[in-house]
Amino acid sequence: MEDYLSEKERWEWVRAQVRENAPAVLLAVVVVLASLGGWRWWQDRQDADRLAASGRYMDMVEALDKGDRAQALVLLGELERDNAGSSYTDQAKMLAARMYVDNGELDKAATELSAVSSNAKDRNLASVARLRLARVQVAQGKADAALATLGTDGATAFAGRAHEVRGDAYFAKGDPAKALSEYQAAKAAANGAPSPLLDLKIADLSASAPAAAAPTAALPAVPVK
């Protein structure tokens, strides 16, 4: 349409368009600016929360290094209250679990590890928590619970460790054949990485395997699963 208007008519048409559409344009600009401001505020808030959580976590590490258990637990409580979804809170729970294990408070350790294994957004951290929870459950005399805990973990990155803990659970249940099988699977998954304790477990059970298998000598010493 502009091609058929004179210079003056074009200018008048432009002014009319601006007057007519100015409110909508201004509203759009306001909305965009508000959105950008809200996004930046949210990003700043997230950064501040992460910084605060990181500081509390490091303070907790320092408190534990000094043997100040009470202060460490206060800091853990603050993280749980103010930064419940933070990875720093999950790692703090792992520290607390280690503290409880060192003090023989296995029930409390299991509670912290169970929370991390169920709720952590970091899948690797959740897998590590499950492995440690299973170890605690074996120490509690809850071998079946340990096997159930490990059964929920499909992370191949920790397959070797999972096999070893399963072996510990089966040994605790009085099933050395399955324990040996799991230990051997753990060694295979380790791809040659040295583990003197695992080698000792395998050697001890391998030495007793032939005697246990004497009535059925035709069968292999280690059952194939």
Q: Looking at the domain assignment, is residue 186 inside a domain? A: yes
Question: Does the pTM exceed 0.85?
Answer: no
Spatial distance between the Cα atoms of 108 and 72, rounded to a whole number of angstroms: 15
With contact defined as beta carbons under 8 Å apart, do 172 and 201 qualify? no
Q: Looking at the domain assignment, is residue 21 inside a domain? A: no
With contact defined as beta carbons under 8 Å apart, do 153 and 131 qualify? yes
Whether 100 and 81 share a structural domain: yes
Task: Look at the chain and report how many structural domains it folds into.
Answer: 2
Residue 138 vs residues 18, 57, 94, 160, 186: alpha-carbon distances, Å:
76, 29, 18, 17, 17
Whether 160 and 148 share a structural domain: no
Average pLDDT, the chain: 81
Q: pLDDT digit string (tens) for 35-47?
A: 656 656 556 555 5
| Domain enclosing residue 113, as ranges | 54-154
Q: pLDDT digit string (tens) for 50-91?
A: 788 888 999 999 999 999 999 999 999 999 998 888 899 999
Q: Which of 138, 154, 170 is the last residue of a domain?
A: 154
With contact defined as beta carbons under 8 Å apart, do 91 and 125 qualify? yes
- Residue 225: pLDDT over 60: no
Kindly report the CATH number assigned to the domain that includes residue 127: 1.25.40.10
Give the least confident one: 1-5, 69-73, 116-120, 217-221: 217-221
Whether 160 and 100 share a structural domain: no
